[in-house]
Each structure stands twice: as C-alpha cells, then as structure tokens.
Chains A and B, each alone.
Chain A
Amino acid sequence: MKRNFALVVVLVLFVGLAVMTIAQAAPPKDPLGCVAIKKGQPIHIAYWMVVAGPDASLGIDTRRGIELAMADKGGKLLGYPIKLSGQDTACNAEGGQAAATKIASDPTVVAAVGSNCSSEARPGAPILWKAGISTVSPSNTAPYLTDPKRGKEYDGYLRTAHNDKIQGAVAAQFAIKKMGVKTAATIHDGSVYAEQLQAVFAEEFKKLGGTITAQEAVAPTDTDMRPVLTKIATGKPQFIYYPIFIAAAGHITRQAKEVAGLEKTYLMSADGSFSPDFYKAAGETAIGMFHSSPDFSAFAGGYKDFLAKHQKKYGEKPIAPFHAHGYDAAMMIFNAIEKTAVKDGDILYICRQKLRDALYATKGMKGLTGTITCNQYGDCADPRIAVYQQTADNIKKLVNPEVPFWKPY
C-alpha cells in the first residue's frame, strides 16, 4: 500500500513536470486551442468528399482542385509540407456524419475542405466545428447552410460554391424568359440540395407568372421513374426541372422519353449532375436537355492555366463543375494559415479560432471562380450561373459542353 502511494506521488510529480514544460512551450492562447507542428511534420488538411459510388465524379473533381492548389504552392506552406487526407462521404447525411466524425477525431487536422453534397454538410459541419475544425465547401449549394438562421454550430462553415438562391432563380428565369414556357414540374430526391433548389425554382417561376403543375419527389436509389413521370404527365408541364444527382437523374432522363405526353417536354437539371458520368448514365437521351452550372467562361484569367495543368496531371478535362471552387477553397485556407500561423522556434502554431476568423475575413481574394469575399454567414462565392445545353457531340465524347447556351447577365 505504502509503495503504491509512493508510486502515485512520483507519477504525479512527473506528470506535473511534463505539463509545466509543455505549458512553457505553448505561448499562443486560443479559445479553441492550437495545433502545434514540429519541424518536418506536415500541416494536415483533410477533405471530406464523395470519392466513391455513382457520384464519385463530384468528389474526385474537387479533390483535384485541392491537389492543384497544393502543387501551385509547391506542396509547402511557411516551409512546412502540406498533407492531404480524406474521407468518402457517399453523398448522404450518414456518410457526411461518419466522415466528419473521423476527421474530428484526428487532432492534427488543421482545417477541412468539403463536403460535396449539402446533405452531408448538414450533420457534418457541426461535428467538425465542435472539434474546432473550420471547413470550406467547394460544392454545397443549399441555401440553408449559410442562412442567417442556421445556428451557431455552423460557425466554422464557409463555402466557395454559389448559393442556390441564385441558381434556382437563374433556372426559372431561363425557363420563362428564354424558353417561353408557362408550366413546369419539379422533382427532388429528398436531399437538402435538391429539395431547396427546386423550391427556389418553383417560387421564382411562380413570381415570373408561370404555373407549377407538380412538385414530386423520388428516392435517390429509385430506378423505376416511369410511374412518377406518368403522374407528372397528367399535369401536362412544358418543362421539368429535376436538380438531383447522377444516378437518379440518369433514370429520369432516359425514362421521360418513354412516357406518353412527355416526349416534347424540356428537361433541365442542375450542377449536381453536370458531369460526363451523367452522360454515361443518360446516354443519347440527354441530347437537348439543359443544365445550370457555374459559368466557366466568366472565370478569372488564371483558369486557362489551371485547365492546362489539369490536363497535364490527370490526362483529361475536368469531370464536374466544382474543380475551380475546390482550388479556391484550398487557397483560402492556405492564405488564412499563412496569415495566422505563429512560429516559435521550430514549432509552428495554428490556432483554430484565429484561423476561422481569418477565413471569414477573406476579402477581395482573386480566385479562379472570381473575386472571393466572405459575408458573415460564410457565403464567399462570386456566383455567375449560366445554362448549358447538351449536344450530340459532347454526349458522344463524354465531356461537359464548354460554351453556355444562355446567361442571365
């Protein structure tokens, strides 16, 4: 018993000593704590994106954006190598939650880039922020995520992607002003992204004098869309807007042509399925349909260089619309780290609250997608949304069309 007591005393002394030495070496104070990086250790950035499954093109595309941003920095920040690790998010809430939990449990992660689908960010971003990790999303577009009412748990969340309040409105204006339609139906898949985007579309469409004949919904795993399309056909819409993801959008595009009464209806989807993988899924039935997406021709001058580097490194053109947003998101984080990191001897300190504040303070940054300025709710994009039409040529070659069909500006 006595010996045990002595042991405990010695242990306590040791621990006390150790704590004191650490305390001496940790000068920067931050309410959320700092990450200390020793010489030779990397600055760890995590991504959480869809890199497997039917929507993998979305995540691989944005990850390539980060990788090219890292390459442009020479793989180093302030003399420390950058390390990128990642988690797959599966484009659903469960996947986002699992990925965020894994990243949050790693104390070396300084900041994160992600997620891709808005459904992932809704549960994921609060988990990361609880661990003090700020995350910049390159492709979440649902309005809720940067809404003034979103709540404090989203304080560490920003995005370089556009807000769908803009994308939905552009789609509605396109339908009414350019195509001259009076009636439209929408389909969503229950995801935060699709549900909110079609709601914005419907609202704007009605405001411009159109009639919404149906607002239907399917499950993202559904394959037989013919019944729901038949139901929609009873309302005789001239236009169907289904801003959903690749697999289900592919089924709808193929099957819409087979349903009586929809042969001549205009079809339109959004950036979530603007990808060569979608052309594979929909095949020739996608010819003539429309997609809203960021306007690549309005991107900054550096975008041409970026495309050249992309071609050189990956041997193909970008496979989804958000590579440049991924690049900008990574650059935002790199800039904020360079601004806030404190060097103490050989140790680099990156403090979480300061990093978050620096990210939110991003102003007038010249990014690929335009001039990036964050508002107090984390909306940083300089959104220019255009509408693209699919042609037989680009479907056959499995590449995204390059020239917008219509622009609102």
Chain B
Amino acid sequence: MLQRIRERLNPTDIVMWSIGGILLIMICWGSVATLVKGVYSTHHWIDFIIFGLAQGSVYALIAMGYTMVYGVLRMINFAHSEVFMSGPYTAYYFAAYFYRSGLLESHPVISMVLVFIISMATSTLIAYLLELIAYRPLRGAPRLVPLITAIGASFFLQYVFKGLYGSGFQAYPVVKALEGHLMVGPIRILKFQILVIVAAAILMVALYQFTQRTRLGKALRSVSEDKEASALMGIDVDRMISMTFMIGGAAAGAAGVLYAIMFKQVHFFMGFIPGIKAFTAAVLGGIGNIPGAMLGGIFLGLVESVGPSLFLDGLGIVAPYQLKDAIAFSLLVLVLIFRPTGILGERLAVKKA
C-alpha cells in the first residue's frame, strides 16, 4: 500500500498540490475573515454577484469562439479578440447615427436590434475572412504555424481598425430605455444588466441547442471528433470549419454590443483584455467544451467581482481590486492543478491531444 502511494507521488505533483493547498487555505481563511468582519451586507454581496454575472456572460459569449475553434481545429485563435472588437466598433457608427436621427429615442428596440445585427454581421464576416485567408491555406501545417499566424492576424486587424476608425476611443450613445434600475423583490438590478444577462443566456442556450439538436450541429461535432471520418461520411469539412468560425464570430459580435452597453467606450485595442479573459474562461471550463466555456466565463466574472472583497479584504490587504486579475489567474492555476482539463473538460483521446 505505502509502496504504491510512494510510486504514484512524484516531486512535481507534491509541489503543485502544495501550491494548490496554500491557495485554497488562503481563500478559505480570507473568506471567513471577511465574513466575520461583516463590513458587507447581503445586499452588497448580491450586487457583487449581479455585476459578476453581467461581466461573466460577456466573457462566456467570447469564450464560445475560442472553445469551438479549438474543438474543431485544435488551435487557439488569438485573433478572436479582434473579431470581438470589429463588431461593436463598426456598429458604433450606426448607433451614433441612430442617436443623432432620434431613432434610438423613439424606437429603442428596433435600433438596438439593428445595432446587434450590424455588429454580429461584421464580426461574422471578419471571422469568415480570417479563416479563409489566414488559416485555411495552413490546414496541413504543423500546429505552431497557425498559432503564429493568429498572432499576426490579430495585430493586422488591430491596426486595420486603427487606420479605419482612428486611434482614439468612441463613446456609445446612452439608451434611455436601459437607464436606471429595477427592483426584483428586494434585489436592486440595473436595467441593462438584465438585458446583458438575458441576451447572453438566450444566445448561449440557442447555440448549445444548435450544436446538439440540428443536423448541421451534428456535422460540426463529428468534424471535431474526427475530420477524416467525417469527410468519408460526406461532410464538407472546410465548410464546417468556416461555419465554426462564423458562429464564434457572431457570438463575439453580440458580446461586443453587450460590452458596449455596459461600458460605453469602444476603441481598436478594446478586444485585448476581454479576449485574454475569455480565453482564460475557456481553459477554465475545459477548452473544446461549449458548456464549459459558458461556465468558465460566468465563474471568471464572478471571481473578478466577488473575489477581491471576499478573499482579500479579510486578510487586511489594501486596495484589493488592483489584484483582481491576479486572483482570477491564481484561480485558473488552482483549477488546473486539481483538474488539468478544466472544470468540465473530458480527457482527450490520444489521437485528439
């Protein structure tokens, strides 16, 4: 018995598990200390959770693009953050036009739907072109090659949009209908947060149902299982890959408008940080797994919002919100130590890995 345990333990594991253990102890200790101190009321915690949910749903929508492309091509599409940026930045000009012409005031629903459609269309188009120009010619190349191309494409897109729309930022017009807050029972929730959370939830459920229930979705899943076999079964693999990119692009375009509704500012570099966070979310949830990406996104948003107050306040750390990225990434480390494939990640078959 002892012999077997000794064989299974190797030094790396011990180090990793002790890091994980220390992190866990710190988290528990901090949380308990914060709760004992009792600075925050239940209302505050509910506020934190709602803020986190709204931010997390945007991460989750972007993470879909990363995870789906990974599922099909086993590559990280680093240019996805620019796909995310292109949509809302382009749609801004329409939103500003609707605002000036008064349409936004008189028909907020119609104009917001139009803004969503424009943003999603732009992002979809960019994602499609990206795949066609940057990745398809490299289909048979070693795995590192498309990765480098992705980084190049990311820079290219950033500077194209900088050239098109300028290097400054633009501010989305305020939608009057989304101003203010509602009381849901005792809970105070901002109107646009409801929109963000509900819209993201609908999109994610629709996407998941699409991949699970439709013929096209089935084809998509089969391509991600085994490309050669799918081709033999009469599935147009290239078309399916394009499709994957386009779906991811549409989700990113929608996420972009939600992001713009929440934060108002758009600029050519806006995709970078949400892109990195969404990628983290995808890894956290188990990359290649769609529900995993959703869960990872929400989890990351919640940790960023609740974490600094909950974990660090009790430890007496000054200005904890400066460390919110550190917390988010430490949690990524923690999850990966105990579950190397992510929260919902399945063990990859040898062939796929």
Task: State A228–B40 Cα separation when bound (angstroms).
Answer: 13
Q: Assess whether B319 is in contact with A217, with CB atoms less than 8 Å apart.
A: yes
Cβ–Cβ < 8 Å partners of A277 in chain B: 168-169
Decide: A230 near B174, CB < 8 A? Known: A54-B168, A221-B273. no
B227 interfacial by beta-carbon distance below 8 Å: no
Q: Assess whether B263 is in contact with A230, with CB atoms less than 8 Å apart.
A: no
Decide: A230 near B319, CB < 8 A? Known: A54-B267, A251-B263, A251-B265. no
Cβ–Cβ < 8 Å partners of A259 in chain B: 47
Query: Which B residue's beta carbon lies closest to that of A53?
Result: B167
Q: Measured between C-beta atoms, what is the minimum distance from A380 to chain B in Å?
A: 31
Q: Assess whether A260 is in contact with B55, with CB atoms less than 8 Å apart.
A: no
Task: State A240–B34 Cα separation when bound (angstroms).
Answer: 24
Task: State A233–B55 Cα separation when bound (angstroms).
Answer: 20
Binary A-proximity of B67-93 (CB < 8 A = 1, otherwise 0): 000000000000000000000000000
Q: Measured between C-beta atoms, what is the minimum distance from B142 to chain A in Å?
A: 32
Q: Measured between C-beta atoms, what is the minimum distance from A308 to chain B in Å?
A: 26
Contact of B51 among A53, A216, A226, A234 (CB under 8 A): A226
Decide: A260 near B169, CB < 8 A? Known: A227-B321, A230-B44. no
Binary B-proximity of A228-240 (CB < 8 A = 1, otherwise 0): 1011011000000
Contact of B308 among A223, A227, A281 (CB under 8 A): A227
A358-396 CB contacts (< 8 Å) to partner B: none
Binary B-proximity of A39-73 (CB < 8 A = 1, otherwise 0): 00000000000001110100000000000000000
Number of A-B contacts (CB under 8 A): 95
B171 interfacial by beta-carbon distance below 8 Å: yes
Q: Assess whether B171 is in contact with A234, with CB atoms less than 8 Å apart.
A: no
B35-66 CB contacts (< 8 Å) to partner A: 39-40, 43-44, 47-48, 51-52, 55
A254 interfacial by beta-carbon distance below 8 Å: yes
Decide: A224 near B169, CB < 8 A? Known: A218-B321, A219-B322, A247-B265. no
Q: Assess whether B190 is in contact with A258, with CB atoms less than 8 Å apart.
A: yes
Q: Assess whether A260 is in contact with B47, with CB atoms less than 8 Å apart.
A: yes
A265 interfacial by beta-carbon distance below 8 Å: no
Task: State A370–B289 Cα separation when bound (angstroms).
Answer: 64
Scoring B170, B181, B262, B321 by chain A CB atoms within 10 A of each residue's CB, the highest score goes to B321
Q: Assess whether B309 is in contact with A217, with CB atoms less than 8 Å apart.
A: no
Query: Which A residue's beta carbon lies closest to that of B48?
Result: A227
Task: State A190–B188 Cα separation when bound (angstroms).
Answer: 31
B5 interfacial by beta-carbon distance below 8 Å: no
Q: Assess whether A227 is in contact with B304, with CB atoms less than 8 Å apart.
A: yes
Cβ–Cβ < 8 Å partners of A54 in chain B: 168-169, 265, 267
B134-189 CB contacts (< 8 Å) to partner A: 167-171, 174, 181, 188
Q: Measured between C-beta atoms, what is the minimum distance from A372 to chain B in Å?
A: 32
Query: Which A residue's beta carbon lies closest to that of B267?
Result: A54
Q: Measured between C-beta atoms, what is the minimum distance from B264 to chain A in Å?
A: 6
Task: State A218–B308 Cα separation when bound (angstroms).
Answer: 11
Cβ–Cβ < 8 Å partners of A231 in chain B: 308-309, 313, 320-321
Q: Assess whether B305 is in contact with A227, with CB atoms less than 8 Å apart.
A: yes
Cβ–Cβ < 8 Å partners of B264 in chain A: 250-251, 254, 281, 283
Contact of B305 among A218, A224, A284 (CB under 8 A): A224
Scoring B264, B308, B324, B325 by chain A CB atoms within 10 A of each residue's CB, the highest score goes to B264
Q: Assess whether A230 is in contact with B48, with CB atoms less than 8 Å apart.
A: yes
Q: Assess whether A234 is in contact with B167, with CB atoms less than 8 Å apart.
A: no
> B-contacting residues of A (Cβ < 8 Å)?
52-54, 56, 190, 215-219, 221-224, 226-228, 230-231, 233-234, 247, 250-251, 254, 258-260, 277, 280-281, 283-284
- Can you give 28 contacting A-B residue pairs, CB < 8 Å? A56-B167, A56-B168, A190-B322, A216-B319, A217-B319, A219-B324, A219-B325, A221-B273, A222-B324, A223-B265, A223-B273, A224-B263, A224-B305, A226-B47, A227-B324, A230-B48, A230-B51, A231-B309, A233-B44, A247-B169, A250-B171, A258-B190, A259-B47, A260-B47, A281-B171, A281-B264, A283-B174, A283-B264
Of all A-B residue pairs in the complex, the 3 with the closest CB atoms, nearest first, are A217-B319, A217-B322, A228-B321
